[in-house]
Structure 1
Amino acid sequence: MTTITTTIPVQRVAKSRIQETDFNNLEFGKYIADHMLVSDFKDGKWHEPTIVPFADISVSPAMLSLHYGQSIFEGMKAFWMADGNINIFRPHKHSARLNRSLDRMCMPIITEEMFIQSLHALVETDKEWIPKSEGSSLYIRPLVFAFEARLGVKVADHFKFIIMNSPVAAYQPKPYRLKVETKFTRTAEGGTGFAKCAGNYGGAFYPTQIAREEGFDQVLWTDHKEHKYIDEVGMMNVMFVINGKLVTPQLTSAILEGVTRDTILTLAKDMGVQIEERRVSVEEIEKGLKSGEITEAFGAGTAAVVAPIAVIHINGYDHQIPVAGADSFQSKVKAKLHNIRMGLEPDIHGWNHIIRVK
């Protein structure tokens, strides 16, 4: 166990790159803030982190993570609040998921204290990089990977923990056109689907590329055994409003436990909406779209928060989904979540980690 015993040391950049950043045209992930936090796991323990100027690092071509895939990450956000303070949203939940991923990949756990203090220190250091336009945020990317150089197949003894920040604009995609995937599999129960590890994303590129060539934006993943039950949409959890109830696939070891998913389910309960976490069959979705029982479908994830779905392609047919209006559940829950993050509504669940600058 590593406990941070001192203030995290900061080596500031000689010259900031913030003036080179076009905050009016922020492409997701294009710009990286001035600093990064770095810590090494060596000799059986995590060493105290430091904040240094963001820069390339030197790695060996024999680095184990390049060969055997010991690499996991998280994605989260920080915002300027209405009162001028900074909010890192749900770091405790992200810490728990990070550690589930680390455990599954035989990587050393990072204490919640170390994780949250590291986030706090880096975001505070790079606070000028948090954009101030409506809906924008500072995207935070914690990353852990095997750093040991060796060709033998083994669990590494040396790991690196890095956090970097990137200013991002409000995510405003057009509603998604989805293809139900019945050939390829993102993951399988008993595998690494619940972990946020790099290989899950690399393995999804090929079927997603095929779907895009066919005119779709993403795939709607199904179970690995029969391709009869819905898992996820792209790299997000998926939700449906069916006969006024909020329905989402129940978590399995093949599905990533999204922080936004948990947030929306919690807020739905607060709003008096009935929720169902259960198996959701492709057949049920097809029938519900034909009958009109399904009135909304959307993805839930850190980047988009809520990503409306316009079309679901099943068995050669495009099923249209009504456009979500201001009175839709997804619009209301997105607005409520925004207000909690901004400090405009009470944070009754203790989700906001506040950095006080006022």
Structure 2
Amino acid sequence: MSPPAPKKDVDWSALGVALDLPVNGHIETRFHLSTGKWTEPTLVANPNISVNGLCPGLNYGQQCYEGLKAFRTPSDTITIFRPKFHAARMAHSAASVSLPEPSEELFLECLRMAVAHNAEYVPPSGSEACLYIRPVLFGASARLALAPPEEVILAIYVQPSFPYHGSASIDAVVLEDFDRAAPRGMGRYKVGGNYAPVWRHAAKARAMGYGITLHLDSSSRSLIEEFSTSGFMGHKVVNGKDVLVVPETQNAIDSTTSDSMVRMAEREGWMVEKGEVPFSTISSLDEVVAVGTAAAAVPIRSISRLSTSEKYSFSTLENGIPRLVALSRLMAAIQRGEEEDTDGWCWEVTGFPQEKSSTAFRGFSGQGSVIGNTISTFQSTVIGSIQSALHLLRGSNPT
């Protein structure tokens, strides 16, 4: 059975990143240290979670999170983009802060439930919007001692949204008075402590006219690591051949978007350079984009380093369709079901609430729980599809 149609009373072209649409609810499952088991995932209508004020999630930063997207395809299915990649990344982050790692099976089932019960909030085909999915995992019961708590909550929220930075080109500035991550520190994990400290610096940069900040390594301050909200990708042409430049560092998270674009570039016959990217070589790049799940691929118009008065400019949409932007549009077409998904990245959501015979959950091996039937009936809907200029990828190189 097809998923429910998108809600008719939503202006899908006017979405931002504000949480201004009350959806049907979120999914919760709880882990108890005493039993070593997760509870059955359930749909909770109230977006608020009641926790003890002395929980380590609030006091000690024992939390991690993820971000991924669901789309409606032209064939009227709803798919989630690369959920297994995100399951592995959340497990990686969870281990870093002494949280129990949700199994891939449990994580996928929670995602499926969250999207299925909110299907009518998946934007329509042709919309640039998506259903953004935010899993968050945190220590929830009181614990003053520096040790894992009895209860941990995994909650999966959803919200229709547009790309975080929009699609217009923005200027970037190197952040020189703050180090995001220390060597062998927490930079490679998706935990909240990597983001909140940057906000005041980002606000200062915005006041100066810069839309995003760029981090160099904290040891030598000479190597590019990532943007504050996104990964870094560059493009250059060597002997008439496209070359994709991607920093390889232990101080930044593995980016789903970056990994996907690298694989697509290789299929298109591009060379891929992954390794240290000295800031001193940035002038060799003709294009730079900031990539991430929430941000998608944002063209960078320029990068400035104020302490040295350096400023480097790059090709943007104002100069036509650059190669990395075209590559990101190919990825968007795959996400939205408009281009063949040769890698099996798009995971179809099934078991919508009206399909009562399809909503039985499987038991989770190793999790110690058997999942019963899903809860009540909610009208659902979904969307997703966008036109793309794929021929640009096969066109001539920029000069």
TM more than 0.5: yes
Choose the corresponding residue for 2:26, options 28, 31, 36: 36
- Find the aligned partners of 1:333 and 1:66 in 2 and give their Cα distance: 40
> Cα distance 1:251–1:161, how it changes in 2: closer, same or farther (>3 A)?
same
Choose the corresponding residue for 2:79, options 87, 94, 105: 87
Choose the corresponding residue for 2:266, options 262, 266, 269: 269
* Match of residue 145 from structure 2: 152
Question: Aligned AA for 1:235?
Answer: T
- Find the aligned partners of 2:288 and 2:47 in 1 and give their Cα distance: 41
More divergent stretch after superposition (317-326 vs 140-149): 317-326
Contact 1:32-1:164 within 8 A present in 2 as well: no
* Match of residue 260 from structure 1: 257
> Scaled by the length of structure 2, what TM-score is found?
0.79
Deviation at 1:35, TM superposition (A): 1.2
Residue by residue, what CA displacement relative to the aligned partner does 1:195-247 show, whole Å, maximum 9, x if unpaired?
10011111222322232232211211010111111100122110111233110
* Match of residue 172 from structure 2: 178
- Find the aligned partners of 1:109 and 1:101 in 2 and give their Cα distance: 9
Q: Which runs of 5+ in 1 are unaligned?
A: 1-17
- Find the aligned partners of 2:187 and 2:200 in 1 and give their Cα distance: 17
CA RMSD, aligned part only? 1.9
- Find the aligned partners of 2:328 and 2:169 in 1 and give their Cα distance: 15
Deviation at 1:154, TM superposition (A): 2.2
Question: Aligned AA for 2:66?
Answer: E
SS at match of 1:322: coil
- Find the aligned partners of 2:145 and 2:286 in 1 and give their Cα distance: 53
Contact 2:55-2:149 within 8 A present in 1 as well: no
* Match of residue 359 from structure 2: none
SS at match of 2:335: helix
Choose the corresponding residue for 1:229, options 223, 226, 247: 223
- Find the aligned partners of 1:201 and 1:122 in 2 and give their Cα distance: 25
* Match of residue 250 from structure 1: 248
Choose the corresponding residue for 1:317, options 310, 319, 324: 310
More divergent stretch after superposition (168-177 vs 178-187): 168-177
* Match of residue 194 from structure 1: 188
Contact 1:222-1:228 within 8 A present in 2 as well: yes
Question: Aligned AA for 1:214?
Answer: M
* Match of residue 332 from structure 1: 326
- Find the aligned partners of 1:76 and 1:93 in 2 and give their Cα distance: 10
More divergent stretch after superposition (334-343 vs 136-145): 334-343
More divergent stretch after superposition (311-320 vs 169-178): 169-178
> Cα distance 1:19–1:63, how it changes in 2: closer, same or farther (>3 A)?
farther
Deviation at 1:22, TM superposition (A): 4.5
* Match of residue 45 from structure 1: 37
Contact 1:220-1:233 within 8 A present in 2 as well: yes
- Find the aligned partners of 2:224 and 2:172 in 1 and give their Cα distance: 12
Contact 1:134-1:170 within 8 A present in 2 as well: no
Deviation at 1:47, TM superposition (A): 1.5
Residue by residue, what CA displacement relative to the aligned partner does 1:257-298 show, whole Å, maximum 9, x if unpaired?
01111001011001111110011111111xx2xxxx321000
> Scaled by the length of structure 1, what TM-score is found?
0.88
SS at match of 2:106: helix
Residue by residue, what CA displacement relative to the aligned partner does 1:109-165 show, whole Å, maximum 9, x if unpaired?
101011111111221111001111522110000000110113232222311000010
- Find the aligned partners of 2:75 and 2:11 in 1 and give their Cα distance: 25
Alignment of 1:1-358 (within 5 A): 22-30=11-19, 31-42=21-32, 43=34, 44-132=36-124, 133-169=126-162, 172-243=166-237, 244-252=242-250, 254-285=251-282, 288=283, 293-314=284-305, 315-324=308-317, 326-355=320-349
SS at match of 1:211: helix
Contact 1:62-1:149 within 8 A present in 2 as well: yes
Question: Aligned AA for 1:27?
Answer: G
* Match of residue 367 from structure 2: none
> Cα distance 1:213–1:344, how it changes in 2: closer, same or farther (>3 A)?
closer
Residue by residue, what CA displacement relative to the aligned partner does 1:1-30 show, whole Å, maximum 9, x if unpaired?
xxxxxxxxxxxxxxxxx7885534212142
* Match of residue 12 from structure 1: none
Deviation at 1:302, TM superposition (A): 0.5
- Find the aligned partners of 1:347 and 1:19 in 2 and give their Cα distance: 29
> Cα distance 1:170–1:223, how it changes in 2: closer, same or farther (>3 A)?
closer
Deviation at 1:49, TM superposition (A): 1.1
- Find the aligned partners of 1:355 and 1:181 in 2 and give their Cα distance: 41
Question: Aligned AA for 1:112?
Answer: E
Hey, which bits of structure 1, 4+ residues long, moved more than 6 A?
none
- Find the aligned partners of 1:24 and 1:33 in 2 and give their Cα distance: 18
SS at match of 1:182: coil
Question: Aligned AA for 1:135?
Answer: E
Question: How high is the sequence identity, in percent, across the aligned residues?
Answer: 28
Residue by residue, what CA displacement relative to the aligned partner does 1:21-53 show, whole Å, maximum 9, x if unpaired?
553421214235211100111122212211121
